């Protein structure tokens, strides 16, 4: 049984860079998940890692590769996004 809370918003911050193929892949995975699990309230914020906010978040969370994925204020992953682990994580929030 899934432990999802329909009324809870999940805040995703994506630290991304232009021309980053892993960043585009992460966006595609997240969009597929939004369509597959429409009851999830995903609030997605795409942040350019070279912007002031992006640099601050990258330093705060020790992001060394793109994309950096922050879920509800906690670093989830950097680099290539593992779809299975991501789904497992958001479905248990």
**β-bridge mates for residue 42, sequence order:** 10
Instruction: Give the DSSP letter of residue 63.
Output: -
Q: What is the pLDDT along the chain (93 residues), one digit of tens a residue?
A: 454 455 689 999 999 999 999 999 999 999 999 999 888 899 999 999 999 999 999 999 999 999 999 999 999 999 999 999 999 999 998
Write down the domain spans for the chain.
9-91
Residue 80 backbone phi and psi in degrees, to 5: -55, 130
In 3-state terms the chain splits into helix, strand, coil percentages (rounded to 5) of: 40, 25, 35
Distances (CA, A) of 77 to 38, 42, 58, 83: 23, 17, 12, 11
User: What superfamily in CATH does domain 9-91 come from?
Assistant: Glutaredoxin (3.40.30.10)
Cβ neighbours of residue 88 closer than 8 Å, sequence gap 6 or more:
none
């Amino acid at each position: 049984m899934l432990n999802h809370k329909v009324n809870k918003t999940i805040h995703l911050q994506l630290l991304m860079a232009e021309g980053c193929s892993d960043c585009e892949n992460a966006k595609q995975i997240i969009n597929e998940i939004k369509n597959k699990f429409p009851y999830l309230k995903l609030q997605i914020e795409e942040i350019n890692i070279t912007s002031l906010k992006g640099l601050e978040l990258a330093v705060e969370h020790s992001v060394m590769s793109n994309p950096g994925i922050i879920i509800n204020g906690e670093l989830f992953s950097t680099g290539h996004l593992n779809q299975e682990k991501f789904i497992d994580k958001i479905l248990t929030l």
